[in-house]
Chains A and B, each alone.
Chain A
Amino acid sequence: MELRIIADIETVSAAETEELGRLIGEALERGAFIALEGDLGGGKTTFTRGLARGLGIASNVTSPTFQLVREYEGRIALFHFDFYRLETASELVDLDIGYCLGAGVVVAEWADRFPPPESDSLLRLRFDWAGESRRRIRLEACPRAAAALEKSDSLRLRLSAPPGGEQ
């Protein structure tokens, strides 16, 4: 599916990265797949913590690295995958990723290891390190996901704001 670049964002703190996650979480619908890419320490965990808040999840988001997927209950359920330790895409079938997409939102760390699963609502975020607490984030989305994001005024504002523009 065609993804187009929605925004190149710069966040100046972990709190801003988390807030971006929250705004995206609030705008999303069931069935969305969010691919996270970028090095260790890039902000994937921080972003996911915010995403969970936006989906109305109260509990802590802990690392999925060990058990490969963690599930959270909220306004919409969140399934947090880590593809780092998977060897083949067939293991995603074992982990029932199709069911997860039907039941909620799926976010995957190290998502570039495999092609995205079948979903008509795809987002991709690429995190690049730009300084101690500064991160460059490229947000891409398919038309349907882009339309969902555009409905949120606060997200639209955030995406067009300059770095640190929240203050």
Chain B
Amino acid sequence: MKKRFLTLGIETSCDETSAAVLEGPHTLLSNVVASQEKIHARFGGVVPEIAARKHVEAINHIIAAALEEAGAGFGDIDLIAVTTGPGLAVSLLVGISAARALSHSLGVPAVGVSHLEGHLLANCVGGAGADFPAVCLLVSGGHTEIIYVAGMGDYEPIGSTVDDAAGEAFDKVARALGLGYPGGPAIQRAAAAGDPKKISFPRPMLRENNFNFSFSGLKTAVINHIRVNGLAAPGEDGATAEDVAAAFQEAVADVLTEKTLRAAEDRGARDVWLGGGVAANKRLRERLREEALRRGFGFFSPPMTLCTDNAGMIAKAGYEIYSRGGALPGLLANPSMGLKSG
């Protein structure tokens, strides 16, 4: 008798090569991530051709490592789940090709998964914490979305950015401040030494009666400030790079928190979830958590290893899609895929 159902998750949509093994619906046996961050730091961002080449070099080793850590062999895999979008086409294809080859040679089904559904369901790995209905704020380098989650498999996007993603704004502001890439950690580090009250940046779209965001104007406000006032050296009058970073971070956290909670109130959610790579930002996490609890919502955010890009969340989403039954979303790459897998 076979005692466990194993899903192999594969994720190569951006600059992380990742593979994971999920046992049953909840237990993540392994979640291995090879990051290309250091490689791309030289260029100030992800370079697609390099990203794809690195995925090709890494993918087999990463899958082998994930299986080894899970104490499983290829023959133990029951299902393969792979990210088919959104992301960089050339990068997605590396993971998809691996999934196809394994699916054919092992004779097991493969399911195509939306990276966004993965981020969303990262909140449900381990079977912990998450309570429906929920409103999830999903923030990463490429996405800023508010999603209403009525139940497993029942999602509705209710707000998004009208221009730049939040993570992108962090990258661009970090670049303008000369703080390097990736921007998120760089801003957070600088902000910790700064005074957020030295300057007040606009809170874009906070007054508008919808759940959308705009970060391009905030980025421009920061750049305008730097151009007009320059950056003060420590001890000088005026705002230092650290102060600007702190004020910018505060504005972003404010807008994201307020809009998410308004959505939760509007939809009568029980829980507020936070997912995506920008969830690593301590200030945002703290603000959203405090405010959610203060207004009577539950708050849940997965551990950081499940917030940044990883295959564990893809395995989870793939497992859920598979166990719902029906036709499985195929393995065609779709760089502009939405929340719905396939």
Contacts of B165 in A (CB 8 A): 63, 65-66
Contacts of A133 in B (CB 8 A): 224
Q: Given A85-B48, A91-B48 in contact, is the A62-B162 Cβ separation under 8 Å?
A: yes
Indicate if A84 sits at the interface (CB-CB under 8 A).
yes
Of B19-27, B96-104, B168-176, the one contacting chain A is B168-176
Are A87 and B168 closer than 8 Å at their CB atoms? no
Are A65 and B168 closer than 8 Å at their CB atoms? yes
Whole-angstrom distance between the Cβ of A112 and the nearest chain B Cβ = 16
Contacts of B160 in A (CB 8 A): 62
Are B49 and A91 closer than 8 Å at their CB atoms? yes
- Chain A, range 13-55, C-beta contacts under 8 Å to B: 14, 39-41, 45-46, 49
Indicate if A75 sits at the interface (CB-CB under 8 A).
no
Q: Which residue among B86, B87, B176, B223 has the maximum number of chain A CB atoms within 10 Å of its CB?
A: B223
Q: Given A40-B219, A87-B47 in contact, is the A129-B164 Cβ separation under 8 Å?
A: no
Indicate if B231 sits at the interface (CB-CB under 8 A).
no
In the complex the two chains form, what is the Cα distance from A120 to B161 in whole Å? Answer: 35
Q: What class of interface size applies to chain A in its complex with B?
A: 20 to 34
Contacts of B141 in A (CB 8 A): 66
Q: Given A60-B162, A94-B90, A129-B227 in contact, is the A40-B175 Cβ separation under 8 Å?
A: yes
Indicate if B111 sits at the interface (CB-CB under 8 A).
no
Contacts of A90 in B (CB 8 A): 49
Indicate if B228 sits at the interface (CB-CB under 8 A).
yes
Residues 52-71 of chain B, each 1 if its beta carbon lies under 8 Å from chain A, else 0: 00000000000000000000
In the complex the two chains form, what is the Cα distance from A41 to B175 in whole Å? Answer: 12
Indicate if A67 sits at the interface (CB-CB under 8 A).
yes
- Which partner residue on chain B sits nearest A96 by CB separation? B89
Q: Which residue among A39, A60, A90, A133 has the maximum number of chain B CB atoms within 10 Å of its CB?
A: A60
Indicate if A103 sits at the interface (CB-CB under 8 A).
no
Contacts of B216 in A (CB 8 A): 45-46, 63
8 Å CB contact of B87 from A14, A67, A70, A87: A67
In the complex the two chains form, what is the Cα distance from A84 to B47 in whole Å? Answer: 9
Are B47 and A63 closer than 8 Å at their CB atoms? no
Contacts of B220 in A (CB 8 A): 41
Are A40 and B172 closer than 8 Å at their CB atoms? yes
Indicate if A123 sits at the interface (CB-CB under 8 A).
no
Indicate if A2 sits at the interface (CB-CB under 8 A).
no
Are A87 and B49 closer than 8 Å at their CB atoms? yes
- Chain B, range 69-91, C-beta contacts under 8 Å to A: 86-90
- Which partner residue on chain B sits nearest A130 by CB separation? B227
- Which partner residue on chain B sits nearest A66 by CB separation? B142
Are A85 and B43 closer than 8 Å at their CB atoms? yes
Q: Which residue among B87, B160, B216 has the maximum number of chain A CB atoms within 10 Å of its CB?
A: B216
Are A86 and B176 closer than 8 Å at their CB atoms? no
Contacts of A45 in B (CB 8 A): 163-164, 216
Q: Which residues of B contact A (CB under 8 A)?
A: 43, 45-50, 86-90, 141-143, 160-165, 168, 172, 175-176, 216-217, 219-220, 222-224, 227-228, 335-336
Given contacts A62-B163, A70-B336, 7 further A-B contacts (CB under 8 A): A62-B162, A62-B164, A63-B165, A88-B49, A132-B227, A132-B228, A133-B224
